[in-house]
Structure 1
Protein backbone atom coordinates (compact mmCIF):
# COMPACT_ATOMS: atom_id res chain seq x y z
CA UNK A 1 0.00 0.00 0.00
CA UNK A 2 1.32 3.46 -0.91
CA UNK A 3 1.82 6.03 1.82
CA UNK A 4 0.80 9.63 1.26
CA UNK A 5 3.33 12.25 2.27
CA UNK A 6 1.38 15.05 3.97
CA UNK A 7 2.48 18.12 5.84
CA UNK A 8 0.96 21.38 6.97
CA UNK A 9 2.53 24.77 6.49
CA UNK A 10 1.79 28.40 7.17
CA UNK A 11 2.25 31.31 4.80
CA UNK A 12 2.41 34.84 6.19
CA UNK A 13 0.99 37.59 4.00
CA UNK A 14 2.46 41.05 3.68
CA UNK A 15 -0.40 42.57 5.69
CA UNK A 16 -0.20 40.20 8.66
CA UNK A 17 -2.61 37.35 7.94
CA UNK A 18 -1.37 33.77 8.38
CA UNK A 19 -2.68 31.19 5.91
CA UNK A 20 -3.02 27.52 6.87
CA UNK A 21 -1.88 25.21 4.06
CA UNK A 22 -1.96 21.44 3.51
CA UNK A 23 0.61 19.95 1.14
CA UNK A 24 0.28 16.37 -0.13
CA UNK A 25 3.19 14.85 -2.00
CA UNK A 26 6.91 15.54 -2.41
CA UNK A 27 8.40 18.94 -3.13
CA UNK A 28 10.10 17.60 -6.26
CA UNK A 29 6.88 16.34 -7.90
CA UNK A 30 6.72 17.29 -11.58
CA UNK A 31 3.47 19.25 -11.28
CA UNK A 32 1.54 21.03 -8.50
CA UNK A 33 -2.18 21.83 -8.42
CA UNK A 34 -3.08 24.62 -5.99
CA UNK A 35 -6.75 24.74 -4.94
CA UNK A 36 -8.63 27.74 -3.52
CA UNK A 37 -12.04 27.28 -1.83
CA UNK A 38 -15.14 29.41 -1.75
CA UNK A 39 -16.82 31.86 0.60
CA UNK A 40 -17.95 30.44 3.97
CA UNK A 41 -16.12 27.15 3.32
CA UNK A 42 -12.56 25.91 3.95
CA UNK A 43 -9.96 23.80 2.19
CA UNK A 44 -12.01 20.77 3.30
CA UNK A 45 -14.42 21.67 0.48
CA UNK A 46 -11.83 20.10 -1.85
CA UNK A 47 -11.46 16.84 0.13
CA UNK A 48 -13.54 14.67 -2.20
CA UNK A 49 -11.58 15.90 -5.23
CA UNK A 50 -8.22 15.64 -3.45
CA UNK A 51 -8.71 11.97 -2.61
CA UNK A 52 -9.06 10.91 -6.24
CA UNK A 53 -5.43 11.44 -7.38
CA UNK A 54 -4.07 9.78 -4.19
CA UNK A 55 -2.05 7.22 -6.15
CA UNK A 56 -0.30 9.93 -8.17
CA UNK A 57 0.48 11.83 -4.98
CA UNK A 58 1.78 8.72 -3.24
CA UNK A 59 4.15 7.72 -6.02
CA UNK A 60 5.58 11.20 -6.39
CA UNK A 61 3.96 12.27 -9.65
CA UNK A 62 1.89 15.02 -8.05
CA UNK A 63 2.10 17.54 -5.23
CA UNK A 64 -1.28 18.90 -4.11
CA UNK A 65 -1.62 22.20 -2.26
CA UNK A 66 -4.80 23.35 -0.54
CA UNK A 67 -5.18 26.32 1.80
CA UNK A 68 -7.74 28.13 3.92
CA UNK A 69 -8.58 31.59 2.63
CA UNK A 70 -8.02 34.34 5.18
CA UNK A 71 -10.71 34.43 7.83
CA UNK A 72 -11.78 30.87 6.95
CA UNK A 73 -10.79 27.53 8.43
CA UNK A 74 -7.53 27.86 10.36
CA UNK A 75 -6.30 30.98 8.60
CA UNK A 76 -6.28 34.29 10.43
CA UNK A 77 -7.40 37.82 9.66
CA UNK A 78 -5.11 40.78 9.12
CA UNK A 79 -7.53 43.35 10.49
CA UNK A 80 -7.68 45.04 7.11
CA UNK A 81 -10.52 45.16 4.60
CA UNK A 82 -10.86 42.18 2.27
CA UNK A 83 -11.31 43.17 -1.36
CA UNK A 84 -11.06 40.18 -3.62
CA UNK A 85 -7.75 41.34 -5.07
CA UNK A 86 -6.35 40.94 -1.54
CA UNK A 87 -7.25 37.25 -1.81
CA UNK A 88 -5.43 37.17 -5.12
CA UNK A 89 -2.34 38.53 -3.38
CA UNK A 90 -2.71 35.78 -0.78
CA UNK A 91 -2.71 33.16 -3.54
CA UNK A 92 0.41 34.78 -4.96
CA UNK A 93 2.07 34.46 -1.54
CA UNK A 94 1.17 30.75 -1.42
CA UNK A 95 2.67 30.23 -4.88
CA UNK A 96 5.82 32.15 -3.98
CA UNK A 97 6.30 30.17 -0.76
CA UNK A 98 5.28 26.66 -1.78
CA UNK A 99 5.38 26.50 -5.58
CA UNK A 100 8.09 28.96 -6.58
CA UNK A 101 8.88 27.07 -9.76
CA UNK A 102 6.44 25.37 -12.07
CA UNK A 103 4.57 23.87 -13.48
CA UNK A 104 1.41 24.75 -11.52
CA UNK A 105 -2.29 24.29 -12.18
CA UNK A 106 -4.75 26.51 -10.33
CA UNK A 107 -8.24 25.47 -9.30
CA UNK A 108 -10.77 27.82 -7.76
CA UNK A 109 -14.31 27.19 -6.60
CA UNK A 110 -16.77 30.08 -6.15
CA UNK A 111 -14.87 32.87 -4.33
CA UNK A 112 -11.78 30.75 -4.92
CA UNK A 113 -12.38 31.12 -8.64
CA UNK A 114 -12.42 34.89 -8.39
CA UNK A 115 -9.28 34.59 -6.26
CA UNK A 116 -7.58 32.59 -9.02
CA UNK A 117 -8.51 35.18 -11.64
CA UNK A 118 -6.93 38.07 -9.70
CA UNK A 119 -3.27 37.15 -10.26
CA UNK A 120 -3.99 37.12 -14.00
CA UNK A 121 -4.77 40.83 -13.72
CA UNK A 122 -2.29 41.83 -11.00
CA UNK A 123 0.64 39.50 -11.77
CA UNK A 124 0.24 38.42 -15.40
CA UNK A 125 3.85 37.21 -15.46
CA UNK A 126 2.75 34.18 -13.41
CA UNK A 127 0.46 32.96 -16.19
CA UNK A 128 2.34 30.71 -18.57
CA UNK A 129 5.13 29.97 -16.12
CA UNK A 130 4.70 28.73 -13.47
CA UNK A 131 0.89 28.71 -13.92
CA UNK A 132 0.16 26.42 -16.89
CA UNK A 133 -3.61 25.95 -16.54
CA UNK A 134 -6.67 27.11 -14.61
CA UNK A 135 -9.90 25.40 -13.54
CA UNK A 136 -12.79 27.78 -12.76
CA UNK A 137 -15.41 25.78 -10.88
CA UNK A 138 -18.83 27.50 -10.43
CA UNK A 139 -17.54 31.05 -10.14
CA UNK A 140 -17.79 34.56 -11.56
CA UNK A 141 -15.49 37.35 -12.72
CA UNK A 142 -17.95 39.95 -11.42
CA UNK A 143 -21.46 41.28 -11.71
CA UNK A 144 -22.77 39.42 -8.68
CA UNK A 145 -24.33 42.67 -7.46
CA UNK A 146 -25.84 44.33 -10.55
CA UNK A 147 -26.24 48.10 -10.60
CA UNK A 148 -29.61 49.00 -9.05
CA UNK A 149 -32.23 50.20 -11.53
CA UNK A 150 -34.58 51.95 -9.11
CA UNK A 151 -34.29 54.62 -6.44
CA UNK A 152 -35.19 52.07 -3.78
CA UNK A 153 -32.50 49.73 -5.05
CA UNK A 154 -29.87 52.48 -4.93
CA UNK A 155 -30.89 53.30 -1.38
CA UNK A 156 -30.57 49.65 -0.32
CA UNK A 157 -27.11 49.49 -1.88
CA UNK A 158 -25.99 52.58 0.08
CA UNK A 159 -27.34 51.12 3.30
CA UNK A 160 -25.72 47.72 2.82
CA UNK A 161 -22.33 48.53 4.47
CA UNK A 162 -24.09 49.89 7.56
CA UNK A 163 -26.37 46.89 7.72
CA UNK A 164 -23.39 44.56 7.48
CA UNK A 165 -21.58 46.45 10.26
CA UNK A 166 -24.64 46.10 12.46
CA UNK A 167 -24.83 42.39 11.72
CA UNK A 168 -21.18 41.98 12.67
CA UNK A 169 -21.68 43.93 15.90
CA UNK A 170 -24.55 41.62 16.75
CA UNK A 171 -22.48 38.53 16.12
CA UNK A 172 -23.30 36.99 19.47
CA UNK A 173 -27.00 37.01 18.62
CA UNK A 174 -26.31 35.45 15.24
CA UNK A 175 -24.10 32.79 16.80
CA UNK A 176 -26.87 31.94 19.26
CA UNK A 177 -29.31 31.53 16.39
CA UNK A 178 -26.87 29.27 14.56
CA UNK A 179 -26.53 27.06 17.62
CA UNK A 180 -30.30 26.57 17.54
CA UNK A 181 -30.02 25.36 13.92
CA UNK A 182 -27.06 22.94 13.87
CA UNK A 183 -26.08 21.20 10.60
CA UNK A 184 -28.24 18.16 11.39
CA UNK A 185 -31.37 20.27 11.87
CA UNK A 186 -33.89 19.58 9.04
CA UNK A 187 -34.48 23.29 8.46
CA UNK A 188 -30.74 23.98 8.09
CA UNK A 189 -30.37 21.03 5.70
CA UNK A 190 -33.31 22.26 3.63
CA UNK A 191 -31.80 25.73 3.25
CA UNK A 192 -28.36 24.37 2.33
CA UNK A 193 -29.85 21.95 -0.21
CA UNK A 194 -31.94 24.70 -1.79
CA UNK A 195 -29.10 27.23 -2.07
CA UNK A 196 -26.07 25.06 -2.79
CA UNK A 197 -27.05 21.71 -4.28
CA UNK A 198 -28.75 20.10 -7.23
CA UNK A 199 -31.56 17.56 -7.08
CA UNK A 200 -29.24 14.54 -7.12
CA UNK A 201 -27.19 15.56 -4.07
CA UNK A 202 -27.24 12.93 -1.33
CA UNK A 203 -28.21 13.69 2.26
CA UNK A 204 -24.60 12.97 3.23
CA UNK A 205 -23.30 15.57 0.77
CA UNK A 206 -25.80 18.17 2.00
CA UNK A 207 -24.88 17.46 5.61
CA UNK A 208 -21.16 17.86 4.86
CA UNK A 209 -21.85 21.20 3.17
CA UNK A 210 -23.96 22.36 6.10
CA UNK A 211 -21.16 21.49 8.51
CA UNK A 212 -18.62 23.53 6.56
CA UNK A 213 -20.91 26.56 6.41
CA UNK A 214 -21.79 26.16 10.09
CA UNK A 215 -18.10 26.25 11.04
CA UNK A 216 -17.65 29.64 9.34
CA UNK A 217 -17.64 32.70 11.58
CA UNK A 218 -20.24 35.45 11.32
CA UNK A 219 -17.39 37.83 10.51
CA UNK A 220 -16.50 35.83 7.39
CA UNK A 221 -20.13 35.98 6.27
CA UNK A 222 -20.37 39.73 6.65
CA UNK A 223 -16.86 40.94 5.83
CA UNK A 224 -16.59 39.25 2.44
CA UNK A 225 -20.09 39.97 1.15
CA UNK A 226 -19.49 43.58 -0.01
CA UNK A 227 -16.15 42.56 -1.56
CA UNK A 228 -17.85 39.87 -3.62
CA UNK A 229 -20.53 42.32 -4.73
CA UNK A 230 -18.01 44.96 -5.78
CA UNK A 231 -15.54 42.62 -7.47
CA UNK A 232 -15.12 42.74 -11.25
CA UNK A 233 -12.07 41.41 -13.08
CA UNK A 234 -13.60 40.84 -16.52
CA UNK A 235 -11.17 43.36 -18.01
CA UNK A 236 -8.08 41.55 -16.68
CA UNK A 237 -8.57 38.04 -17.98
CA UNK A 238 -6.54 38.30 -21.18
CA UNK A 239 -3.43 36.58 -19.70
CA UNK A 240 -5.54 33.43 -19.17
CA UNK A 241 -5.86 33.07 -22.94
CA UNK A 242 -2.23 31.88 -22.85
CA UNK A 243 -3.03 28.69 -20.93
CA UNK A 244 -5.69 25.94 -20.97
CA UNK A 245 -8.80 26.85 -18.97
CA UNK A 246 -11.60 24.59 -17.76
CA UNK A 247 -14.91 26.28 -16.86
CA UNK A 248 -17.45 24.18 -14.98
CA UNK A 249 -20.90 25.13 -13.67
CA UNK A 250 -23.99 23.32 -12.46
CA UNK A 251 -27.14 23.95 -14.45
CA UNK A 252 -29.02 24.64 -11.19
CA UNK A 253 -26.44 26.95 -9.62
CA UNK A 254 -28.25 29.73 -7.73
CA UNK A 255 -25.21 31.63 -6.45
CA UNK A 256 -23.17 31.94 -9.65
CA UNK A 257 -25.69 31.05 -12.36
CA UNK A 258 -24.71 29.58 -15.71
CA UNK A 259 -24.62 32.99 -17.42
CA UNK A 260 -21.47 33.89 -15.43
CA UNK A 261 -19.62 30.85 -16.73
CA UNK A 262 -20.84 31.43 -20.28
CA UNK A 263 -19.45 34.96 -20.11
CA UNK A 264 -16.11 33.62 -18.90
CA UNK A 265 -16.01 31.15 -21.77
CA UNK A 266 -16.82 33.94 -24.22
CA UNK A 267 -13.94 36.04 -22.89
CA UNK A 268 -11.59 33.04 -22.99
CA UNK A 269 -12.26 31.55 -26.44
CA UNK A 270 -10.05 28.52 -25.89
CA UNK A 271 -11.72 27.55 -22.62
CA UNK A 272 -13.52 24.24 -22.26
CA UNK A 273 -17.00 24.96 -20.83
CA UNK A 274 -19.03 22.22 -19.13
CA UNK A 275 -22.58 22.86 -17.92
CA UNK A 276 -23.26 19.94 -15.61
CA UNK A 277 -26.88 18.76 -15.42
CA UNK A 278 -28.79 18.30 -12.17
CA UNK A 279 -26.13 19.99 -10.03
CA UNK A 280 -25.85 23.15 -8.00
CA UNK A 281 -23.06 25.38 -6.75
CA UNK A 282 -20.83 22.89 -4.94
CA UNK A 283 -19.55 20.78 -7.81
CA UNK A 284 -16.42 19.64 -5.91
CA UNK A 285 -18.77 17.78 -3.56
CA UNK A 286 -21.52 16.83 -5.98
CA UNK A 287 -19.32 15.75 -8.91
CA UNK A 288 -15.80 15.26 -7.52
CA UNK A 289 -14.77 12.80 -10.24
CA UNK A 290 -15.77 15.21 -12.99
CA UNK A 291 -13.90 18.09 -11.32
CA UNK A 292 -10.84 15.91 -10.72
CA UNK A 293 -10.87 14.81 -14.37
CA UNK A 294 -10.94 18.43 -15.52
CA UNK A 295 -8.05 19.32 -13.22
CA UNK A 296 -6.12 16.24 -14.37
CA UNK A 297 -6.60 17.29 -17.99
CA UNK A 298 -5.01 20.64 -17.17
CA UNK A 299 -2.15 19.00 -15.30
CA UNK A 300 -1.40 16.67 -18.20
CA UNK A 301 -0.97 19.70 -20.44
CA UNK A 302 0.89 21.59 -17.70
CA UNK A 303 3.52 18.87 -17.38
CA UNK A 304 4.50 19.16 -21.06
CA UNK A 305 7.71 21.22 -21.29
CA UNK A 306 7.13 24.66 -22.79
CA UNK A 307 8.99 25.62 -25.92
CA UNK A 308 10.52 29.09 -25.82
CA UNK A 309 9.05 31.44 -28.40
Structure 2
Protein backbone atom coordinates (compact mmCIF):
# COMPACT_ATOMS: atom_id res chain seq x y z
CA UNK A 1 0.00 0.00 0.00
CA UNK A 2 1.35 3.41 -0.95
CA UNK A 3 1.55 6.17 1.61
CA UNK A 4 2.40 9.59 0.10
CA UNK A 5 4.53 11.46 2.62
CA UNK A 6 6.01 14.47 0.85
CA UNK A 7 5.52 16.62 -2.21
CA UNK A 8 7.93 19.04 -3.84
CA UNK A 9 8.19 19.94 -7.52
CA UNK A 10 5.68 17.15 -8.24
CA UNK A 11 7.91 14.57 -6.55
CA UNK A 12 6.13 12.32 -4.07
CA UNK A 13 8.16 10.22 -1.62
CA UNK A 14 6.34 7.04 -0.66
CA UNK A 15 7.03 4.44 2.00
CA UNK A 16 6.81 0.76 1.07
CA UNK A 17 7.58 -2.64 2.54
CA UNK A 18 8.68 -5.66 0.51
CA UNK A 19 7.03 -8.48 2.43
CA UNK A 20 8.95 -11.42 0.99
CA UNK A 21 12.38 -9.85 1.50
CA UNK A 22 11.48 -7.98 4.67
CA UNK A 23 12.84 -4.74 3.23
CA UNK A 24 11.48 -1.28 3.98
CA UNK A 25 12.14 1.33 1.32
CA UNK A 26 11.29 4.77 -0.01
CA UNK A 27 10.32 5.37 -3.63
CA UNK A 28 10.23 8.64 -5.57
CA UNK A 29 9.80 9.47 -9.24
CA UNK A 30 7.80 7.72 -11.92
CA UNK A 31 9.95 7.93 -15.04
CA UNK A 32 13.52 7.72 -16.24
CA UNK A 33 16.36 5.35 -15.31
CA UNK A 34 16.25 3.68 -11.92
CA UNK A 35 18.53 4.69 -9.05
CA UNK A 36 18.93 2.45 -6.01
CA UNK A 37 20.42 4.08 -2.88
CA UNK A 38 22.16 2.02 -0.17
CA UNK A 39 23.00 3.71 3.13
CA UNK A 40 25.87 2.89 5.47
CA UNK A 41 26.21 0.97 8.72
CA UNK A 42 23.99 2.32 11.49
CA UNK A 43 22.17 4.68 9.09
CA UNK A 44 18.70 4.68 7.53
CA UNK A 45 16.87 5.21 4.23
CA UNK A 46 15.72 8.76 5.10
CA UNK A 47 19.36 9.85 4.85
CA UNK A 48 18.70 10.17 1.10
CA UNK A 49 15.56 12.30 1.49
CA UNK A 50 16.87 15.48 -0.16
CA UNK A 51 18.42 13.48 -3.01
CA UNK A 52 15.12 11.69 -3.62
CA UNK A 53 13.23 14.97 -3.76
CA UNK A 54 15.65 16.36 -6.33
CA UNK A 55 16.50 13.32 -8.46
CA UNK A 56 12.93 12.01 -8.36
CA UNK A 57 12.07 14.62 -10.98
CA UNK A 58 14.09 12.76 -13.59
CA UNK A 59 14.70 9.27 -12.22
CA UNK A 60 12.85 6.43 -10.53
CA UNK A 61 14.49 6.36 -7.12
CA UNK A 62 14.54 3.65 -4.45
CA UNK A 63 16.19 4.07 -1.04
CA UNK A 64 16.41 0.88 1.02
CA UNK A 65 16.67 0.32 4.74
CA UNK A 66 19.50 -2.18 4.87
CA UNK A 67 18.81 -5.43 6.78
CA UNK A 68 18.87 -4.85 10.52
CA UNK A 69 18.35 -1.13 10.02
CA UNK A 70 15.18 0.95 10.22
CA UNK A 71 12.17 -1.26 9.56
CA UNK A 72 14.02 -3.95 7.57
CA UNK A 73 14.37 -7.43 9.03
CA UNK A 74 17.89 -8.80 9.30
CA UNK A 75 16.97 -12.46 8.83
CA UNK A 76 20.07 -14.22 7.54
CA UNK A 77 21.40 -11.13 5.77
CA UNK A 78 24.09 -10.34 8.34
CA UNK A 79 27.00 -10.51 5.90
CA UNK A 80 27.95 -8.13 3.10
CA UNK A 81 27.60 -10.88 0.48
CA UNK A 82 24.12 -11.84 1.71
CA UNK A 83 23.01 -8.20 1.71
CA UNK A 84 24.27 -7.87 -1.87
CA UNK A 85 22.17 -10.88 -2.89
CA UNK A 86 19.15 -9.31 -1.20
CA UNK A 87 19.63 -6.02 -3.07
CA UNK A 88 19.84 -7.87 -6.39
CA UNK A 89 16.65 -9.79 -5.53
CA UNK A 90 14.92 -6.53 -4.67
CA UNK A 91 15.84 -5.09 -8.08
CA UNK A 92 14.71 -8.15 -9.99
CA UNK A 93 11.44 -8.31 -8.05
CA UNK A 94 10.72 -4.72 -9.09
CA UNK A 95 11.52 -5.36 -12.74
CA UNK A 96 14.70 -3.28 -12.68
CA UNK A 97 16.91 -4.78 -15.36
CA UNK A 98 19.47 -1.94 -15.26
CA UNK A 99 20.12 0.42 -12.38
CA UNK A 100 22.31 3.24 -11.22
CA UNK A 101 23.62 1.97 -7.88
CA UNK A 102 24.62 4.51 -5.22
CA UNK A 103 26.27 3.15 -2.08
CA UNK A 104 27.40 5.11 0.96
CA UNK A 105 29.99 3.82 3.46
CA UNK A 106 29.01 0.17 4.15
CA UNK A 107 26.48 0.54 1.34
CA UNK A 108 29.46 1.17 -0.94
CA UNK A 109 30.91 -2.22 -0.02
CA UNK A 110 27.54 -3.82 -0.76
CA UNK A 111 27.28 -1.91 -4.05
CA UNK A 112 30.68 -3.20 -5.19
CA UNK A 113 29.62 -6.78 -4.40
CA UNK A 114 26.38 -6.34 -6.36
CA UNK A 115 28.29 -4.92 -9.32
CA UNK A 116 30.84 -7.74 -9.34
CA UNK A 117 28.21 -10.46 -8.91
CA UNK A 118 25.61 -9.08 -11.33
CA UNK A 119 27.38 -6.82 -13.85
CA UNK A 120 24.41 -6.85 -16.22
CA UNK A 121 22.25 -5.26 -13.53
CA UNK A 122 24.45 -2.28 -12.68
CA UNK A 123 24.86 0.27 -15.46
CA UNK A 124 26.40 3.08 -13.36
CA UNK A 125 28.04 2.99 -9.93
CA UNK A 126 28.50 5.79 -7.39
CA UNK A 127 30.51 5.13 -4.23
CA UNK A 128 30.10 7.76 -1.50
CA UNK A 129 32.68 7.75 1.32
CA UNK A 130 32.70 4.04 0.64
CA UNK A 131 33.95 1.53 3.20
CA UNK A 132 35.25 -0.73 0.44
CA UNK A 133 38.18 -2.78 1.78
CA UNK A 134 37.36 -1.40 5.21
CA UNK A 135 40.40 -3.13 6.68
CA UNK A 136 42.45 -0.38 4.98
CA UNK A 137 40.57 2.39 6.80
CA UNK A 138 42.10 4.08 9.89
CA UNK A 139 42.55 1.75 12.84
CA UNK A 140 40.15 3.69 15.08
CA UNK A 141 37.25 2.79 12.77
CA UNK A 142 37.47 -0.71 14.29
CA UNK A 143 36.97 0.50 17.87
CA UNK A 144 33.63 -1.31 18.21
CA UNK A 145 35.32 -4.60 17.31
CA UNK A 146 38.09 -4.41 19.91
CA UNK A 147 38.13 -7.44 22.24
CA UNK A 148 36.66 -6.84 25.69
CA UNK A 149 35.91 -3.12 25.26
CA UNK A 150 34.37 -2.78 21.76
CA UNK A 151 30.93 -4.09 22.66
CA UNK A 152 30.70 -1.84 25.72
CA UNK A 153 31.71 1.22 23.70
CA UNK A 154 29.12 0.41 21.07
CA UNK A 155 26.32 0.03 23.63
CA UNK A 156 27.39 3.31 25.22
CA UNK A 157 27.09 4.97 21.79
CA UNK A 158 23.52 3.70 21.52
CA UNK A 159 22.78 4.96 25.03
CA UNK A 160 24.00 8.42 24.05
CA UNK A 161 21.77 8.23 20.99
CA UNK A 162 18.75 7.42 23.14
CA UNK A 163 19.51 10.46 25.28
CA UNK A 164 19.39 12.72 22.25
CA UNK A 165 16.50 10.90 20.56
CA UNK A 166 13.74 13.35 21.62
CA UNK A 167 15.74 16.16 20.03
CA UNK A 168 16.84 14.14 17.00
CA UNK A 169 13.25 13.16 16.19
CA UNK A 170 12.33 16.83 15.84
CA UNK A 171 14.86 17.44 13.07
CA UNK A 172 13.17 17.28 9.65
CA UNK A 173 14.53 15.09 6.88
CA UNK A 174 15.14 18.22 4.83
CA UNK A 175 17.12 20.21 7.36
CA UNK A 176 19.39 22.08 4.95
CA UNK A 177 22.65 20.40 5.91
CA UNK A 178 25.38 21.22 8.40
CA UNK A 179 27.08 19.00 10.97
CA UNK A 180 25.22 19.16 14.30
CA UNK A 181 21.60 18.54 13.31
CA UNK A 182 22.45 15.69 10.91
CA UNK A 183 24.54 14.05 13.65
CA UNK A 184 21.72 14.33 16.19
CA UNK A 185 19.27 12.79 13.73
CA UNK A 186 21.62 9.91 12.88
CA UNK A 187 22.40 9.22 16.54
CA UNK A 188 18.72 9.04 17.40
CA UNK A 189 18.16 6.42 14.68
CA UNK A 190 21.18 4.31 15.64
CA UNK A 191 19.83 4.03 19.18
CA UNK A 192 16.79 2.08 17.97
CA UNK A 193 18.53 -0.67 15.97
CA UNK A 194 19.21 -4.20 17.19
CA UNK A 195 22.80 -4.09 18.52
CA UNK A 196 23.61 -7.76 17.98
CA UNK A 197 22.55 -7.65 14.33
CA UNK A 198 24.53 -4.47 13.71
CA UNK A 199 27.57 -6.02 15.38
CA UNK A 200 27.48 -9.08 13.12
CA UNK A 201 27.19 -6.89 10.02
CA UNK A 202 30.08 -4.70 11.18
CA UNK A 203 32.32 -7.74 11.61
CA UNK A 204 31.44 -8.83 8.08
CA UNK A 205 32.19 -5.36 6.70
CA UNK A 206 35.76 -5.42 7.99
CA UNK A 207 36.24 -9.01 6.84
CA UNK A 208 35.06 -8.34 3.26
CA UNK A 209 37.79 -7.64 0.72
CA UNK A 210 37.47 -6.45 -2.85
CA UNK A 211 41.17 -5.73 -3.48
CA UNK A 212 42.14 -6.78 -7.03
CA UNK A 213 38.54 -7.58 -7.94
CA UNK A 214 37.93 -3.82 -8.19
CA UNK A 215 39.76 -3.88 -11.52
CA UNK A 216 36.98 -6.09 -12.89
CA UNK A 217 34.45 -3.24 -12.62
CA UNK A 218 33.76 -1.96 -16.13
CA UNK A 219 30.82 0.40 -15.62
CA UNK A 220 31.17 4.20 -15.34
CA UNK A 221 31.99 4.83 -11.67
CA UNK A 222 32.00 7.89 -9.44
CA UNK A 223 34.00 7.90 -6.21
CA UNK A 224 32.90 10.75 -3.95
CA UNK A 225 34.34 11.73 -0.59
CA UNK A 226 33.82 14.38 2.05
CA UNK A 227 36.77 16.72 2.41
CA UNK A 228 36.88 16.24 6.19
CA UNK A 229 35.89 12.58 6.39
CA UNK A 230 37.98 10.84 9.05
CA UNK A 231 36.34 7.40 8.68
CA UNK A 232 36.85 6.78 4.96
CA UNK A 233 39.25 9.69 4.34
CA UNK A 234 40.09 11.19 0.93
CA UNK A 235 43.27 9.10 0.75
CA UNK A 236 41.11 5.97 1.01
CA UNK A 237 38.73 7.28 -1.67
CA UNK A 238 41.56 8.18 -4.03
CA UNK A 239 43.02 4.69 -3.72
CA UNK A 240 39.58 3.25 -4.48
CA UNK A 241 39.20 5.48 -7.56
CA UNK A 242 42.66 4.47 -8.79
CA UNK A 243 41.75 0.77 -8.55
CA UNK A 244 38.55 1.04 -10.63
CA UNK A 245 39.26 1.56 -14.34
CA UNK A 246 38.14 5.01 -15.51
CA UNK A 247 36.59 6.01 -12.18
CA UNK A 248 35.92 9.70 -11.53
CA UNK A 249 36.94 11.22 -8.20
CA UNK A 250 35.04 14.09 -6.57
CA UNK A 251 35.54 15.76 -3.20
CA UNK A 252 32.70 17.62 -1.46
CA UNK A 253 34.11 20.61 0.46
CA UNK A 254 33.28 21.09 4.16
CA UNK A 255 31.68 17.64 4.39
CA UNK A 256 32.43 14.88 6.87
CA UNK A 257 31.30 11.28 6.28
CA UNK A 258 27.75 11.98 5.06
CA UNK A 259 27.76 14.53 2.21
CA UNK A 260 24.17 13.69 1.21
CA UNK A 261 23.14 14.79 4.72
CA UNK A 262 25.71 17.51 5.50
CA UNK A 263 25.95 19.16 2.06
CA UNK A 264 22.81 17.86 0.29
CA UNK A 265 22.79 20.42 -2.55
CA UNK A 266 26.48 19.97 -3.34
CA UNK A 267 26.04 16.20 -3.20
CA UNK A 268 23.11 16.20 -5.61
CA UNK A 269 24.88 18.56 -8.03
CA UNK A 270 27.93 16.30 -8.12
CA UNK A 271 25.84 13.18 -8.64
CA UNK A 272 23.82 14.85 -11.39
CA UNK A 273 27.00 15.93 -13.20
CA UNK A 274 28.19 12.34 -13.17
CA UNK A 275 24.86 11.03 -14.47
CA UNK A 276 24.61 13.74 -17.14
CA UNK A 277 28.01 12.71 -18.52
CA UNK A 278 27.29 8.99 -18.38
CA UNK A 279 23.62 8.63 -19.26
CA UNK A 280 21.79 5.32 -19.67
CA UNK A 281 20.09 4.79 -22.97
Q: TM-score range by the shorter chain?
A: 0.7 to 0.9
Does 2:68 correspond to 1:71? yes
Partner of 1:62: 59
Partner of 1:132: 123
**CA contact 2:103–2:127 (8 Å) conserved in 1:** yes
Mapping of residues 1-309 of structure 1, within 5 Å: 3-11=10-18, 17-26=21-30, 29-54=31-56, 56=57, 61-78=58-75, 80=76, 82-102=78-98, 104-126=99-121, 131-144=122-135, 160=147, 177-178=159-160, 181-183=163-165, 201-240=178-217, 242-301=218-277, 303-305=279-281
**Cα gap change, 1:258/1:174 in structure 2, threshold over 3 Å: closer, same or farther?**
closer
**CA contact 1:105–1:298 (8 Å) conserved in 2:** no
Cα distance in 1, alignment partners of residues 136 and 237 from structure 2? 16
Q: Paired residues, what number?
A: 262
- Shift in Å at residue 201 of structure 1? 3.1
Cα distance in 1, alignment partners of residues 136 and 202 from structure 2? 10
**CA contact 1:105–1:133 (8 Å) conserved in 2:** yes
**Cα gap change, 1:30/1:179 in structure 2, threshold over 3 Å: closer, same or farther?**
closer
**Cα gap change, 1:37/1:304 in structure 2, threshold over 3 Å: closer, same or farther?**
closer
Q: Secondary structure at the match of 1:299?
A: helix
**Cα gap change, 1:84/1:180 in structure 2, threshold over 3 Å: closer, same or farther?**
closer
**Structure 2: segments with no counterpart, 5+ residues:** 1-7, 168-176
- Shift in Å at residue 106 of structure 1? 1.0
**Cα gap change, 1:180/1:87 in structure 2, threshold over 3 Å: closer, same or farther?**
closer
**Structure 1: segments with no counterpart, 5+ residues:** 149-155, 186-199
**Comparing both structures, which one devotes a greater share of its residues to strand?**
2
- Structure with higher RCO (Cα < 8 A, 6+ apart): 1
